[in-house]
Amino acid sequence: MTATLEDLSFDNRFTADLPADPEVGGGSRQVNEAAYSRVSPAPVASPRLIAHSPEVAEMLGISRDVVESEQFLEVFSGNTTISAMDPHAACYGGHQFGNWAGQLGDGRAITLGEVTDSAGTRLTLQLKGAGPTPYSRGADGLAVLRSSVREFLCSEAMHHLGVPTTRALSLITTGDQVMRDMFYDGNPGLEPGAVVCRVAPSFIRFGNFEIFRSRDDIATLRRLADHTILTHFPELGEPSPEVYTAWVAEVARRTASMIVEWQRVGFVHGVMNTDNMSIHGLTIDYGPYGWLEDYDPGWTPNTTDRQFKRYRYGAQPHIGQWNITQLANAIHPLVGEVDPLQDAIEQYVATFNQQWPLMMAAKLGIRAFDDSRDAALIERLLELLPAVETDMTLFFRGLADVAVGDESGQMSDDELLAPLLDAYYEPDQLNGDIRSATLDWLRDYSTRIATEGSAANERRSAMNSVNPRFVLRNYLAQLAIDDAEKGDPGLVIELLDVLRKPYDQQPGHERFAEKRPDWARSRPGCSMLSCSS
Residue type, position 266, single letter:
G
SS3 for 85-136 is CCCEEECCEEEECCEEEEECCCCCEEEEEEEECCCCCEEEEEEECECCCCCC
Round to whole Å and give the CA distance between 484 and 140: 22
Which CB atom, from 151 or from 293, has the smaller least distance to ligand AMP?
151
- By CB under 6 A, residue 141 contacts ligand AMP: yes
- By CB under 6 A, residue 446 contacts ligand AMP: no
Which of these segments, 36-44, 105-113, 157-165, 509-517, binds ligand AMP (CB under 6 A)?
A: 105-113
> In angstroms, what is the minimal distance from the CB of 193 to ligand AMP?
10
Which CB atom, from 15 or from 166, has the smaller least distance to Mg ion?
166
Query: Binder to ligand AMP among 25, 61, 107, 357 (CB under 6 A)?
Result: 107
Query: Binder to ligand AMP among 106, 261, 293, 391 (CB under 6 A)?
Result: 106
> In angstroms, what is the minimal distance from the CB of 211 to ligand AMP?
11
| CA atoms within 13 A of residue 444's CA, in its CB half-sphere | 15
Task: State the alpha helices, DSSP H only, in 405-498.
Answer: 406-409, 413-417, 432-450, 456-464, 474-485, 490-498
Which CB atom, from 204 or from 420, has the smaller least distance to ligand AMP?
204
Binding residues vs Mg ion (CB under 5 A): 276, 285
Instruction: Measure the CA angle with vertex 313, ends 310 and 317; round to 5°.
Output: 80
> In angstroms, what is the minimal distance from the CB of 142 to ligand AMP?
6
- By CB under 6 A, residue 531 contacts ligand AMP: yes
Query: Binder to ligand AMP among 3, 139, 358, 376 (CB under 6 A)?
Result: 139
- By CB under 6 A, residue 41 contacts ligand AMP: no
- By CB under 6 A, residue 24 contacts ligand AMP: no
Which CB atom, from 206 or from 445, has the smaller least distance to ligand AMP?
206
> In angstroms, what is the minimal distance from the CB of 140 to ligand AMP?
5
Q: Could you say which residues in the range 237-276 bind ligand AMP, by CB under 6 A?
A: 271, 276
Q: Which does 12 bind (CB under 5 to 8 A by kind): ligand AMP, Mg ion, none?
A: none
Which CB atom, from 136 or from 303, has the smaller least distance to ligand AMP?
136
Round to whole Å and give the CA distance between 58 and 67: 10
Q: Which does 105 bind (CB under 5 to 8 A by kind): Mg ion, ligand AMP, none?
A: ligand AMP
The answer to whether 48 and 34 are in contact (CB under 8 A) is no
Give burial (CB, 10 Å; 0-12/13-18/19+) of 486.
Answer: exposed
Round to whole Å and give the CA distance between 404 and 442: 9
Which CB atom, from 289 or from 512, has the smaller least distance to ligand AMP?
289
Which CB atom, from 375 or from 531, has the smaller least distance to ligand AMP?
531
The answer to whether 67 and 190 are in contact (CB under 8 A) is no
> In angstroms, what is the minimal distance from the CB of 203 to ligand AMP?
11
5: left (phi over 0), alpha (psi -120 to 50) or beta: alpha
Partners of 130 in the β-ladder:
142
Q: Which does 106 bind (CB under 5 to 8 A by kind): Mg ion, ligand AMP, none?
A: ligand AMP
Q: Could you say which residues in the range 272-311 bind ligand AMP, by CB under 6 A?
A: 276, 285, 287
Instruction: Measure the CA angle with vertex 19, ends 106 and 200; round to 5°.
Output: 45
The answer to whether 147 and 224 are in contact (CB under 8 A) is no
Q: Which does 217 bind (CB under 5 to 8 A by kind): Mg ion, ligand AMP, none?
A: none
218-249 exposure pattern, b = at least 16 Cβ within 10 A, e = fewer: eebbbbbbbbbbbbbbeebeebeeebbbbbbb
Residue type, position 514, single letter:
E
Sequence-distant (≥ 6) Cβ neighbours of residue 488 within 8 angstroms: none
Which CB atom, from 198 or from 459, has the smaller least distance to Mg ion?
198
Round to whole Å and give the CA distance between 194 and 533: 11
Which of these segments, 106-114, 231-239, 419-427, 510-518, binds ligand AMP (CB under 6 A)?
A: 106-114
> In angstroms, what is the minimal distance from the CB of 88 to ligand AMP?
14
Sequence-distant (≥ 6) Cβ neighbours of residue 278 within 8 angstroms: 166, 200, 203, 204, 205, 284
> In angstroms, what is the minimal distance from the CB of 59 to Mg ion?
23
Round to whole Å and give the CA distance between 277 and 283: 7
> In angstroms, what is the minimal distance from the CB of 205 to Mg ion?
8
Query: Which one of the listed residues 275, 285, 294, 305 is annotated catalytic?
Result: 275
Backbone angles phi, psi at 124, to 5 degrees: -90, 135
Query: Binder to ligand AMP among 17, 23, 55, 140 (CB under 6 A)?
Result: 140
- By CB under 6 A, residue 26 contacts ligand AMP: no
- By CB under 6 A, residue 190 contacts ligand AMP: no
Q: Is 370 a catalytic residue?
A: no
Count CB neighbours of 64 within 10 A: 12
- By CB under 6 A, residue 136 contacts ligand AMP: yes
Strands of 181-304, DSSP E: 189-200, 267-268, 290-291
Which spans of this chain sit near ligand AMP (rule: CB under 6 A)? 104-108, 135-136, 139-142, 271, 276, 285, 287, 531
Supply the residues annotated as catalytic.
275
